[in-house]
Amino acid sequence: MIGASRVNFGLANAVEEIPAYRYLRWYITSTKTSGNYMQASEFQFLNSSNSRIGLSNPSSEGSSPASEQNYHANDNNTGTKWLSLGFISNSVAWLKFDLGSGQTPITKGIKGYRWYTANDHAGRDPDYWVIQGSVDNSNWTTVHGPISTSVTGNRNSLAYNSPTAFSGVLGF
């Protein structure tokens, strides 16, 4: 397994293995207005220069309109959005990235993340979420959050920016 070691300078100097998460997901469980769809124009993982890391197409929990698919949340264009239709009944939406075989947040240089609001309906904006990691695409561990925040009412705008979110968590 590819991983990293984090040394905890306690009495025993124990070494804790940091799981080599191949999968990361943005896991949203609340929007500004309940009983709504969920939407975002961009969700981006960031490198140490606070720049977007391009990843292959993500997957998500359910259906979306043809022009508002999950990959529209990671096309580096705030003019396109991902709309989760299922959120209105399921109250959960997730956007999952497979970093690839043998890849981890460390190999990809992922140090944090940010996301941007969509073009309309502020009530659909996420306001409570976690970031989770998984080694097997089945069991998930929270690596950032939960984040509960009031999101800007501005449209197509930066809503949350944490370029060092995973500092000390994912091996950096």
Q: Which residues bind Ca ion (CB under 5 A)?
A: 41-42, 72, 75, 77, 80
The C-alpha atoms of residue 57 and residue 26 are separated, in whole angstroms, by 14
DSSP 152: P
Residue in the shown chain whose Cβ atom is closest to Ca ion: 80
Q: Phi and psi (nearest 5°) for 110?
A: -80, 120
Nearer to Ca ion, 21 or 26 (CB): 26
Nearer to Ca ion, 75 or 98 (CB): 75
Tell me how far, at minimum, the Cβ of 102 lies from Ca ion, in Å.
28
The C-alpha atoms of residue 83 and residue 93 are separated, in whole angstroms, by 10
The C-alpha atoms of residue 45 and residue 116 are separated, in whole angstroms, by 12
Nearer to Ca ion, 22 or 124 (CB): 124
Tell me how far, at minimum, the Cβ of 79 lies from Ca ion, in Å.
7
Nearer to Ca ion, 77 or 119 (CB): 77
The C-alpha atoms of residue 74 and residue 43 are separated, in whole angstroms, by 6
CA distances, 159 to each of 7, 48, 52, 153, 169 (Å): 34, 19, 15, 9, 23
Q: Which helix (H) or strand (E) holds 127?
A: strand 126-134
Nearer to Ca ion, 42 or 127 (CB): 42
Q: Phi and psi (nearest 5°) for 150?
A: -85, 125
Tell me how far, at minimum, the Cβ of 163 lies from Ca ion, in Å.
19
Tell me how far, at minimum, the Cβ of 42 lies from Ca ion, in Å.
5
Tell me how far, at minimum, the Cβ of 81 lies from Ca ion, in Å.
6
